[in-house]
Amino acid sequence: WNNVYFEKISLKAIGLRVQLGHVNTPCVLPVAGHQDFIVLHTNGLHYVTIDFCGCNERIPHRQQLLRSEWFPATVYQPQTCATFRLLDLFHIVTLTGKLSAHEFYRSLEHLTDNLRSLLSPCDSCRIPEDS
């Protein structure tokens, strides 16, 4: 609230930190994740701050994400993940609605910021705008 209207703000900006590898307890040796970590969920794209568990170096970051039901976009040094709930939704929507992956992702962008004022464009995914 900025005294006039509610402003859209990221979970990261309000101080949310997600600790992986521990259930309801803080990690004594947290390892910071990528500073611009993005979680794709059924209600949009979310920038969050995550900490991996550093107590046991034998558990790879990707495995800590998977145990939290977050599917990493890359195997090494993940910076983006999709929740299992989103992947389930994608599976159902693509089977019943014949929606492409690109169209599904664009719908998540619109859920997050319909005016596209907060999201930076993905140059590798750029397509000509509708005329």
**pLDDT tens by residue, 40-73:** 999 999 999 999 999 876 789 999 999 999 999 9
Residue 130 has pLDDT above 70, yes or no: no
Whether residue 2 lies inside any domain: the answer is: no
pLDDT value, residue 97 = 86
Contact 40, 81 (CB under 8 A): yes
| Mean pLDDT to the nearest integer, 28-47 | 94
pLDDT value, residue 131 = 41
Whether residue 104 lies inside any domain: the answer is: yes
Total tally of structural domains belonging to the chain: 1
Distance from C-alpha of 117 to C-alpha of 66, rounded to nearest angstrom: 31
Domain that holds residue 81: 17-116
pLDDT band at 113 (very low <50, low <70, confident <90, very high): confident
Whether residue 4 lies inside any domain: the answer is: no
Q: What is the CA 39 to chain-centroid distance, rounded? A: 1
Whether residue 127 lies inside any domain: the answer is: no
Burial string for 98-107 (b: 16+ CB within 10 Å, else e) reads eeeeeebbee
